[in-house]
A and B are shown apart, each in its own frame.
Chain A
């Protein structure tokens, strides 16, 4: 029982990172209907920005801000430079999806040229783990979870209680209808991507903090798990995605702890395929399934 609780504790850390990443992905999807295959690179760029700040003596807070800024700017650039142009020209979801795969390839390899393909790591001094109730967490892990909860709460307030959040929800439900109601849909979409990039960049930073090392490819591998969480929760649905992230994060940690950590990603995809095949609209939506899903 004790061991199970310890694993649950690590699972909560994984769930915090995964939920942020999945929330960012689902925000991108909700306003443009494009599954952004370069989402992982937002995380990677965030991790590298934080690394640069740390190299110049910045602390954890400064690094986190740098990661968020880098991720946000990248997401905005991908949206305005590629995705928005494609959406406006009426190029459909699948071709845009393919294009974002190309964008991902470009970003990964630009990072390879600048930083090299090898693993880098932060020089964050690891404190001894603290015992909190039945759990065992380091200071970094506590920082990860607290910040994730705060960010999620902020996001909830933004989406539910602000004018921008209202426009966001309108655009995500029906872009054309939102436009004829006087909402500047392109601006809302761009701002949403910026917001998603801020969250994604920060998620990249805490991911690298928690794993210990990162490379130009780590964002893409993590993106594959993100996809599992987002699809399990229902693409484009924020609350479902949050729950999906928590469930998948904890499930993966138990799988890794009790079976084999090396097959983790394979296990994630087994979940993903099952979910898509059985409930393509997500676990928490009582929708019918359609052949043309």
Chain B
């Protein structure tokens, strides 16, 4: 029972980190990015490729440097951010709405097919494996105590991310981001460089995605293309939408409900003969239905984003400017 709880909480923390990253892109900046799981995957792949030893035939992959876990995670985050910089620089320049989504969907599919087909990169469809209990030896942990250690690590990182996100939320940057989510033209009229701000948000969100991916790699000890079919992105979106788009508390709640809750609710279903995929399929069906119902009936989610208060009554600060523009999250951003 305890082991089970540890598993659920570890997965939940990792998914919460990813969802908070995606929330910067979709919740604040307003871009429906379908490439997000690509950054998660790159973070996971890089972590594995950097921590495991050199490739031995028949497996082939790049790097294989046997670096310590924390250094590998740092490099993994930077790689994810670099990739996001490239994709974002192209896609955010002129595209909004569904055109942006379609191009990012294209980007993630190209990436997905490329990692699967181009074996020298990350060993193709077989993927990478062999990262067992990162930092376990360093702290002298045995198998039974290790899972507690890793849960602790994930929770500490999650708390760090929460602090960062909360701080950003009230910052000039966070407020300005949401102003251009609400009305890009108005924000541009107030002198915002929309492209640079959206790109910053995009890269930052992808960095959190990479961090989530890195922790996920340490948790799974292996990663391959079947672990990151683009469907996973929809699950993160469902979590954000259910919890409350743009709201940090909401996103954490959304992950608890959609990732942990739904997983557990369908875990005890009776096993159906010849149907090993029944429970996962049912979970995705429920995810889809919940997604549709929430967009239709409660687009602001369970814990909606708080309306911003005027923090500068003199009317000189950014918040005062935004006060009139931000009227709570609406789903439709950009002309579709």
Residue of B nearest to A29 (CB): B98
| Any B CB within 8 A of the CB of A62 | no
Q: When each residue 233-267 of chain A gets 1 if its CB lies under 8 Å from chain B and 0 otherwise, what string results?
A: 00000000000000000000000000010110110
| Any A CB within 8 A of the CB of B184 | yes
Contacts of A265 in B (CB 8 A): 109, 113
Contacts of B285 in A (CB 8 A): 105-106, 109-110, 113
| Any B CB within 8 A of the CB of A93 | yes
When the two chains form their complex, are residues B288 and A269 in contact, meaning their CB atoms are under 8 A apart?
no
Contact residues of B between 123 and 147, Cβ < 8 Å to A:
none
Taken together as a complex, chains A and B put the C-alpha atoms of A91 and B297 apart, in Å, by: 11
| Any B CB within 8 A of the CB of A190 | no
Contacts of A263 in B (CB 8 A): 113-114, 117
Residue of B nearest to A107 (CB): B288
Contacts of A101 in B (CB 8 A): 234, 291
Q: With A262-B117, A265-B113, A276-B102 known to touch, is A109 a contact of B288 (CB < 8 Å)?
A: yes
The contact of B287 among A92, A105, A117, A289, by CB within 8 Å, is A105
| Any B CB within 8 A of the CB of A166 | no
Taken together as a complex, chains A and B put the C-alpha atoms of A90 and B94 apart, in Å, by: 25
Closest-CB distance, A89 to chain B (whole angstroms): 7
| Any B CB within 8 A of the CB of A35 | yes
When the two chains form their complex, are residues A292 and B113 in contact, meaning their CB atoms are under 8 A apart?
no
When the two chains form their complex, are residues A277 and B107 in contact, meaning their CB atoms are under 8 A apart?
no
When the two chains form their complex, are residues A269 and B98 in contact, meaning their CB atoms are under 8 A apart?
no
| Any A CB within 8 A of the CB of B99 | yes
When the two chains form their complex, are residues A99 and B332 in contact, meaning their CB atoms are under 8 A apart?
no
Closest-CB distance, A214 to chain B (whole angstroms): 17
Contacts of B274 in A (CB 8 A): 116
Contacts of B102 in A (CB 8 A): 35, 227, 231, 272, 276
| Any B CB within 8 A of the CB of A130 | no
Contacts of A86 in B (CB 8 A): 295-296
When the two chains form their complex, are residues A105 and B332 in contact, meaning their CB atoms are under 8 A apart?
no
| Any A CB within 8 A of the CB of B324 | no
When the two chains form their complex, are residues A292 and B287 in contact, meaning their CB atoms are under 8 A apart?
no
When the two chains form their complex, are residues B106 and A273 in contact, meaning their CB atoms are under 8 A apart?
yes
Taken together as a complex, chains A and B put the C-alpha atoms of A33 and B117 apart, in Å, by: 36
When the two chains form their complex, are residues B109 and A112 in contact, meaning their CB atoms are under 8 A apart?
no
Closest-CB distance, A279 to chain B (whole angstroms): 11
The contact of A276 among B99, B231, B332, B335, by CB within 8 Å, is B99
| Any A CB within 8 A of the CB of B56 | no
Closest-CB distance, A226 to chain B (whole angstroms): 11
Closest-CB distance, A173 to chain B (whole angstroms): 17
Instruction: Tell me the count of chain B residues lying within 8 A, CB to CB, of chain A.
Output: 48
The contact of A91 among B99, B103, B296, by CB within 8 Å, is B296
Residue of B nearest to A93 (CB): B336
Closest-CB distance, A289 to chain B (whole angstroms): 7
The contact of A102 among B94, B95, B109, B291, by CB within 8 Å, is B291
The contact of B32 among A82, A94, A104, A105, by CB within 8 Å, is A94
* One of B12-20, B66-74, B275-283, B302-310 at the interface: B275-283
Closest-CB distance, B211 to chain A (whole angstroms): 25
| Any A CB within 8 A of the CB of B225 | no
The contact of A35 among B98, B332, B335, by CB within 8 Å, is B98
Q: When each residue 210-232 of chain A gets 1 if its CB lies under 8 Å from chain B and 0 otherwise, what string results?
A: 00000000000000100100010
| Any A CB within 8 A of the CB of B96 | yes
| Any A CB within 8 A of the CB of B97 | yes
Closest-CB distance, B47 to chain A (whole angstroms): 24
CB pairs A–B below 8 angstroms (24 shown): A89-B296, A92-B332, A93-B97, A93-B98, A93-B335, A95-B299, A98-B295, A99-B291, A102-B290, A105-B288, A106-B285, A106-B288, A109-B282, A113-B281, A116-B274, A117-B281, A263-B117, A269-B106, A269-B109, A270-B106, A276-B102, A277-B95, A277-B103, A293-B97
- Give the B-binding residues of A (Cβ under 8 A): 33, 35, 82, 85-86, 89, 91-99, 101-106, 108-110, 112-113, 116-117, 224, 227, 231, 260, 262-263, 265-266, 269-270, 272-273, 276-277, 280, 289, 291-293
- Give the A-binding residues of B (Cβ under 8 A): 32, 90, 93-99, 101-103, 105-107, 109-110, 113-114, 117, 184, 231, 234, 237-238, 274-275, 277-278, 281-282, 284-285, 287-292, 295-296, 299, 331-336
